[in-house]
Structure 1
Amino acid sequence: MGRLTGGDPSLLRRINSAVVLHALRAADCATLTEITRVTGLSRPTVEGVVEDLMEAGLVAEKAAEEGAARRQGRPARRYRFRAEAGHLLGLEIGPHRVAALLSDLDGRVLGAQAKEVGETADADERLERLRTAVAELLRRAGVPRSSLRAVGVGTPGIVEAGGIVRLGTALPGWTGLNLGERLSRSFRCPVLVENDANAAAVAEHWKGAATDSDDVVFVLAGLSPGAGSLIGGRLHRGFGGAAGEIGALHLLGRGVTPETLLSTTDQPLHPLDEQAVAAVFAQARKGDQQAVAAMDRFIQRLVHDVAALVLALDPELVVVGGWAAGLDGVLEPLRGELARYCLRTPQVTLSMLGEAAVATGALRLALDHVEEELFAVESKVAAARH
């Protein structure tokens, strides 16, 4: 496509379309007069844009309420944004399960599907389980695959732009996997791949414990914890997508691994064995001294890891998710120890979304992509300048 200029009619149409569509989406419905007033565009321009949007299937005329014509004469036509004009998927690919969320273009969740998967499953088997979950979800919701506008994906590992997993030790065969390309074979729409902790941070800011905070650290607590950070409400990925990999801090002169710290025997726990971890915490709650000591060691290490990120970013809020969010004895020690180590102690709370956090964040990333495509005037102006 040739370069657009400020006076290019096609650019003006795109900008006007985004402005009108944004106004309609923000309202339940609106008349042409109301759209004209809100957007500042001329009445003929609004009429033309609305007609084009109706032809594109993004806008529909809202049916008049029964009896309204008799009471008031013929009412003005009202128009609405068709959230059902497209659909979005948010996918989670984890060590023990794959999950999918389906929404409309307003982000309203229409269905969910999850399937267990073995931690030793290779990449092909794991992705096949995911495809099966997606197929079942779409079939149950009655949504054709062609209706999908974007797919977001959350997965463990350091994810580069384009969806390549540069390093992913939690899943067999994940390091070096071009996950974006593999999933693009199944979807004829953009596929956006993100680290799971980053996706969860986005989710908590959208619908969870961090809706009122723009400077947030989300800790995906596990034997190899990860973290996602929002700075000023925007996801901070770092130069190569490796920001928040606090699970690697034990390599800095501290040779004892987390799975050894939490063991009550001479043998370290398996890094992905969440049931074994839960058993140690359960024994600690019953007063088992070895388990109490192991839990204390683990929490102390977790505090050190989180404190490093808190000292660097000074967030307003720390949200703790992952399996630790469902176990007693984590939150209060974390608060107390952060108060000792940090110059300014942030608020600390548990995730409100639980195991749905990663898929929900992936869904939000897909929604962000579509909103940028449909509603963002700034991106259209910027594109015209390059």
Structure 2
Amino acid sequence: MADLRGGDLSRLRQLNSLTAIRELRGSGPLTLSALAERTGLSRPSMKEVTDELMALGWVEEVPPSPGTMGRPARRYRFRADSGYLVGVDIGGHNIRAALSDLDGEILAETRQPVLPDAPLEERLAAIERAVSGCLALSRTTVEDLWTISVGTIGVIDVEGRVIFSAAVPAWRDLDLAGKLREMFPCQVLIENDSRLAAMAEHRRGVAKGARDVVFLHVGRRMGAGLIIGGRVHRGFGAAAGEISMLPEARWFDAPEHLNTCASVPPGTPPEDAAGHTLAAARDGDPAAIEAVERYVDDLAVGTAAMVLILDPQLVVLGGGFSRSADVLLDRLRERLERTCMRMPEVRASTLGDECVVAGAIDYAVDHLDDRLFTPDRGPLPVSR
């Protein structure tokens, strides 16, 4: 809590307002009495704070429930619908977007296909179409957006520039944040997609409550995100988790075992090949099973290295291939047991392909909290 000096009553009112908003965001509609009890303020003081927050547009009175008898106590809620956030997942083959309210509740989702070797302008246009689709589905406009939070493949610096991207050549040395700010009149946040996926798993998925987690972001390409001490770990140069860059880990080419399996029918689109192999292995196809075994051999090398270094509580198999956890998970456990000094729990993600957009939304909510609802960040703005 900030240090108040010199009888700064305006600062005290701001701190009381922030406390009230946090209680309302965490608990839903509350009466004045309940809000006063939770914040430690008197009821008259709480009424004054609530009136001010309503004038700013952050809080509104909730109508009584239908059928309520007598004169019910007034209830108040945080206006999460006073603005909107968008999370974007920029993958090699798809652009996914999701729109949420200020509390992170997802209201609309869209997807746009794109080729890995698509020119830069084509990929940017796909991003714009994906966001526009969310706006149309939710009947909102671009002026309603407060933040666009983007997860993308590659190493990202603190300014939102893609330093390196092996999967998308057009992405290398790209000021992605700058490009998106030209497209959208709101705050733009850029982060590595695997880290955002790990964040979503920690906030919404099977890693909720775990303090140390290795998140395997596996699909048509391989990545990893690390949770250390309950926080996403970026590393000194924002390159933590890039195990696929180590040739000895065999992660970069590992999906090719599934893509080139003899059991994949001729003419199968490249984006469907791995899924066909995994389904065939589930059905007992010998060639598919052999391809899966080779794939898991490679997956286990990098995973074991991270487990031995971090000693995590949990390993999560996430990303697109988590839909085939019944084929992959036991095989991965068996290989980790051979090499890991202490075997962590190994689970499958329940978020699947939605992990990055969900993490991008959570990342935007965190920045909103830090920028607007943290005592040391200045006065509350008028809700637009």
Per-residue deviation, 1:256:
9.5
Per-residue deviation, 1:219:
0.5
Which residue pairs with 1:258 in the alignment?
A: 254
**What is the CA–CA distance in structure 2 between the aligned matches of 1:121 and 1:133, rounded to whole Å?**
16
Q: Deviation string for 1:306-365 (max 9, x for gaps)?
A: 111111111111111233323353211110111111111111122211111111111111
Matched, 1:29 2:25: no
**Superposition TM-score, scaled by structure 1 size:** 0.86
**What is the CA–CA distance in structure 2 between the aligned matches of 1:255 and 1:16, rounded to whole Å?**
51
* Structure 1 pair 332–15 and aligned structure 2 pair: CA distance change class (3 A): same
Which residue pairs with 1:339 in the alignment?
A: 337
Per-residue deviation, 1:302:
0.9
Per-residue deviation, 1:288:
6.1
Q: Deviation string for 1:115-139 (max 9, x for gaps)?
A: 1112221222111111112112112
**1:50 partner amino acid:** T
**What is the CA–CA distance in structure 1 between the aligned matches of 2:39 and 2:203, rounded to whole Å?**
26
Q: Is the 8 A contact 1:224 1:247 kept in 2?
A: no
* Structure 1 pair 47–305 and aligned structure 2 pair: CA distance change class (3 A): same
**Superposition TM-score, scaled by structure 2 size:** 0.86
Matched, 1:301 2:295: no
**What is the CA–CA distance in structure 2 between the aligned matches of 1:60 and 1:190, rounded to whole Å?**
25
Equivalent runs, 1:134-145 vs 2, <5 Å:
134-145=131-142
Which residue pairs with 1:268 in the alignment?
A: none
The counterpart of 1:177, out of the listed 149, 174, 177, is: 174
**1:22 partner amino acid:** R
Which residue pairs with 1:39 in the alignment?
A: 39
- The CA RMSD over aligned residues, in Å, is 2.8
Aligned residue pairs, count: 368
* Structure 1 pair 357–256 and aligned structure 2 pair: CA distance change class (3 A): closer
**What is the CA–CA distance in structure 1 between the aligned matches of 2:103 and 2:221, rounded to whole Å?**
35
Q: Is the 8 A contact 1:123 1:172 kept in 2?
A: no
* Structure 1 pair 200–66 and aligned structure 2 pair: CA distance change class (3 A): closer
Matched, 1:228 2:212: no
Matched, 1:358 2:356: yes
Equivalent runs, 1:49-198 vs 2, <5 Å:
49-65=49-65, 68=68, 71-72=69-70, 74-198=71-195
**What is the CA–CA distance in structure 1 between the aligned matches of 2:10 and 2:340, rounded to whole Å?**
53
* Structure 1 pair 274–139 and aligned structure 2 pair: CA distance change class (3 A): closer
**What is the CA–CA distance in structure 2 between the aligned matches of 1:76 and 1:280, rounded to whole Å?**
60
* Structure 1 pair 282–29 and aligned structure 2 pair: CA distance change class (3 A): closer
Matched-pair identity in % = 41
Q: Secondary structure at the match of 2:170?
A: coil
Q: Is the 8 A contact 1:15 1:380 kept in 2?
A: no
